[in-house]
């Protein structure tokens, strides 16, 4: 009974022409989606590091008092950072290595700004333990958890860790002061 009415108002009932109402539905839906997204953003972003955490994201360290051969551990972003004042012997050990044979090949020169100072994040790249200094077969660090050994450049030499100890962003502010982060 409605056939007549349909054929008169909708010439092509399989593909009806979009109406002004369809447009309004779409526009309303789009605005609602943008609104929901805009509201979700603060609730997700609040979980990212806050201003007080970001304020601590760099640390200045006076390295003048660190004697040759000593490793000092500082806390940066909640993690330990090793600052190692390397001896001549340790520097030679780090430089005189066939880089191509390393598990994570990296020359010593790419890991230090000044040869006598090595700065690395003290977190084993395996499962996050903290390696012990001046230990292990390569005289660098040794991780007691699963036996990863690092050399005097903080490079992985044996054990399960996949990568070298990470070198953080740092800069020499003066010859005896560095800024980590």
Interaction site with another protein (CB under 8 A): 44, 47-50, 53, 57, 73, 75, 77-80, 127-130, 144-147, 160, 162
Smallest CA-to-CA distance from 154 within 128, 124, 126 is with: 124
Of 107 and 181, which has the nearer Cβ to another protein? 181
* 159, 135 contact by CB (below 8 A): no
Of 64 and 78, which has the nearer Cβ to another protein? 78
Of 77 and 134, which has the nearer Cβ to another protein? 77
Q: Closest distance between another protein and the C-beta of residue 175, in Å?
A: 27
Q: Closest distance between another protein and the C-beta of residue 110, in Å?
A: 21
Bridge partners of 96?
none
Q: Closest distance between another protein and the C-beta of residue 43, in Å?
A: 12
Instruction: Give the residue numbers marked as catalytic.
Output: 146
Of 49 and 69, which has the nearer Cβ to another protein? 49
Q: Closest distance between another protein and the C-beta of residue 94, in Å?
A: 25
Q: Which helix (H) or strand (E) holds 76?
A: strand 71-76
3-state secondary structure 105-170: CCCHHHCCCECCEEEEECCCCCCCCCCEECCCCCCCEECCCCCCEECCCCCEEECCCCCCCCCCCE
């Amino acid at each position: 009974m409605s056939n007549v009415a349909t054929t008169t108002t909708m010439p092509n009932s399989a593909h009806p022409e979009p109406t002004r109402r369809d447009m309004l539905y779409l526009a309303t839906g789009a605005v609602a989606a943008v609104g929901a997204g805009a509201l979700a953003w603060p609730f997700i972003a609040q979980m990212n590091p806050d201003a007080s955490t970001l304020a601590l994201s760099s640390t200045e360290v006076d390295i003048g008092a660190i004697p040759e051969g000593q490793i000092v551990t500082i806390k940066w972003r909640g993690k330990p950072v090793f600052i190692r004042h390397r001896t001549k012997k340790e520097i030679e050990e780090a430089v005189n290595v066939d880089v191509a044979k390393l598990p994570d090949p990296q020359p010593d020169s790419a890991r230090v700004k000044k040869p006598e100072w090595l700065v690395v994040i003290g977190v084993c790249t395996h499962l996050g333990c903290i390696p012990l200094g001046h230990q292990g077969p390569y005289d660098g660090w040794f991780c007691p958890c699963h036996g990863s050994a690092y050399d005097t450049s903080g490079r992985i030499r044996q054990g399960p860790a996949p990568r070298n100890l990470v070198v953080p962003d740092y800069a020499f502010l003066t010859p005896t002061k560095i800024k980590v982060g």
